[in-house]
Amino acid sequence: MKRSFLRAKIHRAAVTRVDVEYVGSLSLDEELMNAAGLLPFERVDVYNVTNGKRFSTYVIKAGRGSGEVGVFGAAGRKAGPGDILIIAAYALLEESELEFFTPRIVILGQGNAIAEIRS
């Protein structure tokens, strides 16, 4: 039986851009995606620490080193510039995989710079 576990988390990402007219997704600085092990179009759950709203979407690449965290489409109604987000991806694991599994946690600081990576 497979069970769902946290695979990757970006903690304290500050929204830099919102566009409700965009078709919909979450743009992330490519450096942040790589640090968390996220791939383009991978599903993520987003938890808005600022207002308590939650949504699911997929990730697209923003420019490397840009610090961009963009919230687009309908999700743009659940976040605003400056809001603080937790971005989480999950994986289905067999019990035999659990002994060696550790999620990757990326903690951000000022300007969405990587402050710490835990894995």
Which residue among the candidates 22, 47, 58, 90 is catalytic per the annotation?
58
Alpha carbon distance 91, 2 (integer Å): 9
Copy the structure tokens of residue 1: 């039986």
In this structure, how many other beta carbons lie within 10 angstroms of the beta carbon of residue 48? 19
Copy the structure tokens of residue 100: 């060696």
Alpha carbon distance 1, 59 (integer Å): 28
Contact (Cβ atoms closer than 8 angstroms) between residue 12 and residue 49: yes
Catalytic residue list contains 90: no
Catalytic residue list contains 25: yes
Which residue among the candidates 4, 25, 47, 66 is catalytic per the annotation?
25
Residues taking part in catalysis: 25, 58
